[in-house]
Amino acid sequence: MNRLAGKVAFITGGASGLGRVGAERFAAEGARVVIADVGDASEALQSIARAGGTAASVECDVSSDASVRDAVAFAVKTFGDLHVLYNNAGVMLSADDDATNTPDDVIQRTFDINVKGVLYACRHAIPPMIESAQRCGEMSSIVNVASFVAHLGAATPQIAYTASKGAVLAMTREMAAIYARRGLRANALCPGPVMTPLLAKFLSDDAKRERRLVHIPMGRFGEPHEIVNGALFLASNESSWMTGQSLVIDGGITSAYVTPEGPAWSADL
Ligand code: NAD
């Protein structure tokens, strides 16, 4: 508890999925949280309030520079500081396909949200984050959500998504170097498959899910809290000498050539 005490965290896409679990956990660890999402964040806010946490929400489309600018200004006005930027919002569009078949509008929308969204949030959040670092005496932290696919190189055909997450890794490394002596760290979080709304619509039946599980050494999908544990580590001062890195949390996918047979481990086995 209290690993983010005194910190203000801005979480994009925090109304549902991994972002919502992150918002709840960050608040439970003492952060004052701002959820910036195109969707309705009221359930997330209620759940944080029930648990005794502090949070506010602001409507924000990360693909719009003006929307992100206003949302960051709201966060700073509401809580007076900004220490953590958790760039979590992202999409994987259903018409995303291989290099020959992906339509331009899908490439454009994927890049607008997954790449420009991260860049816009950094553009507007970095100046107040540098000021807040100065005030609190600890470096501020950017956590950019990429994906294990950006490490693996190939999953299913989803070229726009894969390219967008590769761009997130590259931006993270550059920002880490540029701001390393100015009070700011930046790291990437690379989750493997977790059954959020984003993935559930792609793996809609047992056959599709089984096909994926074959490639996960641990034999199961990740749980949202297992990803958020990594985000919390990167956001907090526990990772104070870490910048420009990618934290891969994927049940072993990116380290395996051949996966073991048999059921997933359980204490009951
Ligand atoms: P999700 O679809 O469940 O939730 C995404 C959230 O982002 C939603 O609340 C949505 O309203 C919000 N959002 C979408 N477009 C937005 C925009 N333009 N502006 C602001 N908010 C917007 O997705 P998730 O599975 O929780 O994924 C979160 C992040 O994790 C994404 O960046 C995704 O690429 C990444 N990721 C997920 C998985 C997985 O298996 N779920 C694996 C690897 C990486």
Tokens of 258: 């051949």
Q: Residue 1 carries which side chain, given as an amino acid letter?
A: M
Which residue puts its alpha carbon closest to atom 41 of ligand 1?
194
Predicted confidence at residue 208, as pLDDT, reads 87
Q: Is the dihedral of CA 91, 86, 216, 263 positive or negative?
A: negative
Does any domain span residue 48? yes
For the whole model, what pTM was predicted? 0.97
Q: What are phi and psi of 56, to 5 degrees?
A: -140, 160
Does any domain span residue 264? no
Catalytic residues: 161
Q: Could you say which residues of the chain have pLDDT below 50?
A: none
Does any domain span residue 94? yes
Does any domain span residue 259? no
Predicted confidence at residue 198, as pLDDT, reads 78
Q: Domain of 169: which CATH number?
A: 3.40.50.720
Predicted confidence at residue 92, as pLDDT, reads 94
User: Residue 259 C-alpha to ligand 1 middle, in angstroms?
Assistant: 28
Domain count, the chain: 1
Predicted confidence at residue 200, as pLDDT, reads 84
Tokens of 109: 């929308």
How far from 39 is each of 13, 57, 127, 180, CA to CA, in Å? Answer: 8, 10, 26, 33
Predicted confidence at residue 203, as pLDDT, reads 85
Q: Which domain holds residue 184?
A: 8-249
Predicted confidence at residue 36, as pLDDT, reads 99
Does any domain span residue 260? no
Q: Which residue among 69, 148, 169, 196 is best mutated to probe the pocket of ligand 1, counting the most ligand atoms within 8 A of its Cβ?
A: 196
Ligand 1 pocket, Cβ-based, cut-off 6 angstroms: 12-13, 15-19, 37-39, 60-63, 88-92, 113, 145, 147, 191, 193-194, 196-199
